[in-house]
Amino acid sequence: MPPKPVKSAEQIAAIRDLARILSDLLAWSLALVKPGVRTIALDSAIERRMRELGVHGPCKGYRGFPSVSCISVNDQVTHGIPDNTLLAPGDIVDIDLVIEKNGFFADMSRTIPVGKASEDTLRLIRVTEECLAYGIAAAKNGAHLGDIGQAVQRHAEKNGYAVVRDYCGHFIGLAMHEDPLVPNIGKKGKGLRLEPGMILCIEPMINEKGYAVTTHGWDARTSDGSLSSRCEHMVLITPEGNEVLTRFP
């Protein structure tokens, strides 16, 4: 069996510091989102900011991915490659960032509206963040990965939305993606039992309509063209429960 993904106290301290830097970087990046901005311009600004902060963007070059950020717009579920897409009022955009420093990694994302969005769009974003909160509440010492998936799935479907099956969360810290995966669907009591020292990324991807995704290369979109919202936090399992290492402003 593979070793359990438990981090030492020294590793946790370094990862916690990096998560703090990433939280500030994502907030800075999201503040640049405005109608008329191209996603490639956002990525260029983010890359410059990473250099100023002394961190590396490991997404760039990962299996040929060309950018430091994943920027997904409207029906893009994840892994959107920044390009000449022009953001328009009413769009939604997810910025997903990973940073690395001294062999440690941090990862988070958030979806926001571009300018003024419809009430239905804002509801999708809000419920997705609620799904994240429910997933985090379920991620505690002695719980199982299935508890997280069940909490996310139950809240999304109760609100009439669909949970993406093709992509999910993961463990993190010493690599950008560590096993095991953290699905957004599941059954209580199933999967790996969580222990103090584990750090995982919980990242619900919630579709407005069906859960099916069509993927071409990196580009992953809802098969029915409906909107998709996602958000992501890093969570440390502690003896008392958990600690959310990343934060939204």
pLDDT tens readout for residues 40-92 = 999 999 999 999 999 999 999 999 999 999 999 999 999 999 999 999 999 99
Q: What are the structure tokens assigned to 56, written together?
A: 């590396």
Q: What are the structure tokens assigned to 50, written together?
A: 């990473």
Question: Is the pTM higher than 0.95?
Answer: yes
**Is residue 1 a part of any domain in this protein?**
no
Report the C-alpha gap between 119 and 122 in whole angstroms: 5
**Is residue 39 a part of any domain in this protein?**
yes
**Is residue 154 a part of any domain in this protein?**
yes
**Is residue 249 a part of any domain in this protein?**
no
**Is residue 116 a part of any domain in this protein?**
yes
Report the C-alpha gap between 167 and 222 in whole angstroms: 12
Q: What are the structure tokens assigned to 102, written together?
A: 């001294």
Whichever domain contains 123, its CATH number is 3.90.230.10
Report the C-alpha gap between 106 and 176 in whole angstroms: 7
For residue range 81-93, what is the model confidence (pLDDT) as tens digits?
Answer: 999 999 999 999 9
**Is residue 4 a part of any domain in this protein?**
no
Q: Is the pLDDT confidence value at 238 over 50? A: yes
Domain count, the chain: 1
Domain that holds residue 158: 9-244
**Is residue 2 a part of any domain in this protein?**
no
